[in-house]
Structure formats: structure tokens, C-alpha cells
Amino acid sequence: MLRSSRIEYEALGVAMVGYLAVDDEFGGGDRPGVLLLHEGSGQDDNVRQRADRLAGLGYVAFALDYFGGGRQYPLDFTRVRLGELFDDLAETRQLALAGYDLLTAQPGVDRDRIAAVGFCFGGVMALELARSGVPLQAVIGFHPGFAKVSPADSAGITASVLMICGAEDPVVTREDRERFEDEMRSAQVADWRLEVYGGVGHSFTNPEISSRGLPGFFAYDERADRRSWSAMRALLEEVFT
């Protein structure tokens, strides 16, 4: 039976509200944990539903909060806040680490089998968590951003890395993707992969994105959503076996 709860915690002096999902039908020892990092609009039903789905696969899933209150925010707020976080990657890492610490402190979680799964700016945060030296087994980004960091920051990544982008994403350009590839090569990350879906824009995993009136090619794509979820599942099964 699925069991979910809101968990209040503090990060950088802000009251955060995360979402924990566990399926009690899975027992018999500690389970892998999956940390979810929401899109740039704030924690929403989409990321909480993803946590539920992951719990149904036998993982302990925790959707962190990096804005506060465990909710969505208006565009004028998120533009400013995301700009601040892009400019201060140390702060970004601290916010991600607060969620990681909470997940790994949960009973029944195997601290040696943890993955980070991010959406949009959450993909940036997941990568920054891996760059910080946290022992993750996998880092997965759906329509992620790519922060401009030096290869030295990625040299310590030990996780398997999977980033999944739309070729028509107005936020992440082909040049951004190429810089990411160059960084992974220069840092000699042992296992990384970049999947690019033709004709697909940004936020392709979020069924509600088209209703938010965002400029540019922001659109849900059922096929890309399904394919990317399958790719994530396959990697999690591989690294957690």
C-alpha cells in the first residue's frame, strides 16, 4: 500500500516542505532511495506523482523543495530566484544536499543505493549534488539545464549520468549540450549518456506545462515522456542491481 507524507525541514534558513512516498508492499531489507528535484516553477503535482510511481517500483522516493512551502510560484519570482541559484552553485548544492540528507535519514533506505532525478532546474541541482562528491549511483535529468562549470568540478562524479533533452528546447541549446558533452569527456566521467529527442521542446514530461503560458516551445510530449521514463527505469535497475 502506498504511503505518502509531507515532511517539513529547513534549508538555508527557509522552511521547506518535501514529499515522501513509500509502498509498504515492498519489504525485506533496506531499499534504494530516489531523490526528486522539481522544475523551476516549484514543487507541483507532477513531481509528487513521479514520487508515487517510483515508490510503486519499490524505491523510497523523496521530492525535495528548493523554494519553500512545497508549492508552485509565479514566473516573476522563479526567474529571479533561479538566476540567483545559477550564479551561486554552492548554494544550489546546499539545497540539494539538504534533501539528500533527509532521504538518507529515512528508515528502510539503503544509503549505498541512492539516485538523484531532476526536472528542468532540478536537473542542474542533481548534477551539482554529484559534483559535490555525494556518493550517488545515478544522476538523471529530464529537460535539464546545464550550469557553466569547469571540468574539474565534474571530475569527482562517480555516478552513472543520464541527461535527456528535447532538440527544440528553447532553454538548452545545441551549444549547451555540446559544452556538457565536452565537460563529461574532459572530466573523464566513466559512464555518461545524453539522449536528444527530435521535435521536442522543454518540460516535455509535465502534462500541465502548456496551461502555464510560458514563452517559447514549452509543451508536454507523451511519447518523449514515456521513452524518457523507460530510460530512467532501465538505468535505475542497472545501477541498483
pLDDT over 80 at 213, yes or no: no
Confidence class for position 215, pLDDT limits 50, 70, 90: low
Query: Model confidence over 168-210: pLDDT tens digits?
Result: 999 999 999 999 999 999 999 999 999 999 999 999 999 999 8
Ordered by start, the domain boundaries in the chain are 2-240
Inform me whether the pLDDT recorded for 223 exceeds 80. yes
What's the confidence (pLDDT) of residue 31?
A: 97
Multiple choice CATH, 2-240, 2.40.128.120, 3.40.50.800, 3.90.105.10, 3.40.50.1820: 3.40.50.1820
| Segment 29-60, tens digit of pLDDT | 899 999 999 999 999 999 999 999 999 999 99
Q: DSSP assignment of the chain, as one string?
A: -EEEEEEEEEETTEEEEEEEEEETT--SS-EEEEEEE--TTBS-HHHHHHHHHHHTTT-EEEE--SSSTTSB--HHHHHHHHHHHHH-HHHHHHHHHHHHHHHHTSTTEEEEEEEEEEETHHHHHHHHHHHTT---SEEEEES-------HHHHTT--SEEEEEEETT-SSS-HHHHHHHHHHHHHHT-SSEEEEEETT--BSTT-TTGGGG--SSSB---HHHHHHHHHHHHHHHHHHH-
Mean pLDDT, rounded, of the chain? 95
